[in-house]
Structure formats: structure tokens, C-alpha cells
Structure 1
Amino acid sequence: MDIKAIEEYVQAVRLAQKSGILGVYNDRIHVRYQLFEELINEQGNLEVVKRDCSEYPFEATFTKNGLTYLSLHTEEEIKNIFGGNIDELITRN
């Protein structure tokens, strides 16, 4: 791989980050909550799970076309996005 190719990849990563994509892990794409809010307007499978984390205790995932988009949320963000009773949203494992 040459320097020019690496520079192009770096530009692509920076553009993805600017667009709200924080990371790609196989078929899971970690996105900022603002982008996640846009994505859930699409038809797909939505899940919310509790996490063992005091700062971001909720993980919301949206799956479409074999890709899972995930975003970490505070309790307030979850209420703002989904409203209603949080317990009804949480997927039971």
C-alpha cells in the first residue's frame, strides 16, 4: 500500500466521522445519536438494551439489510428520542 492510498482512506474515515459514523466493527456500525435518530425513520428492527454503565446506560440498535447501527444513550436522550415508558422499550434478554 502506498502513501497516496493511505491518505485517501484517511480522508474517507474523516468524512465518515464528520457524517456521524464513529466506528465500524464487522457488521455493526457505531453512530452518533443524531445520526441514529435519522436512521430509525427507516423500516427495520429496533432494540433498546440496558448497559452496565453509569454514563451511557442504554444501547439502541437498529438493524436493516444485515447491518446493525448502534448508538449509546443517556436516560434523558432515550426519553427524548422515544418518549413514554423506557421499560417498555427495553429488550428482555
Structure 2
Amino acid sequence: MNLKELLLKGQNFISLLNEFRIDAKDLIIKDEETIFSNQTNNNTEVVKESVWIEGKSNEGLVNLFGTLHYNLLNKLAVFEMQGYEKVSA
């Protein structure tokens, strides 16, 4: 299960996507491979990482910036948004 699937299990994250009119299929977590390749995260139950999530809406691109809290053992992930940027199409 990837981070996108874990985030989409939460109603708060889905509400955030709806607020910006982002379709879940058009969602990309930037540098997701880098997050998982970090060797210091392997022995930690809960990990916090700064992330950039890019989504497409009918108005253009929406970039969400924040902190991702995740626990792969319990299959939980939460996104704490700190800011956003809209880029017109």
C-alpha cells in the first residue's frame, strides 16, 4: 500500500482535496521514493517528513505543502498542511 492510498482512507484528507477540487486520480506525492529510501526511517514506528503533494483541478495545478505523519506498520497516514500554491492552467 502506498502513501496516496493511506491518505485517501482519511476523511479529513478527502475533504481537503474536495476544498481545492482535486481529483484523487490526479494526485502525486513528490519524492515518495526518497521518503521510503531514507535509512533512518527503517527502525522508526512513526515518521514525520516534509512533503509536496501536487494535484490537478479544473483551474490548474494545486501544490500542497506540509508534513506527512505515517506509520506503515498500522497502515496510517496523516497530512498536516502548512501552505498551498495555485498555478493557473
- TM-score in same-fold range (> 0.5): no
TM-score by length of 2: 0.31
When Rg is computed on C-alpha atoms for both structures, the one with the higher figure is 1
Q: RCO (CA 8 Å, sep 6+): is it higher in 1 or 2?
A: 2
The answer to which structure has the higher helix fraction is: 1
Structure 1-normalised TM-score? 0.30
| Structure with greater strand percent | 2
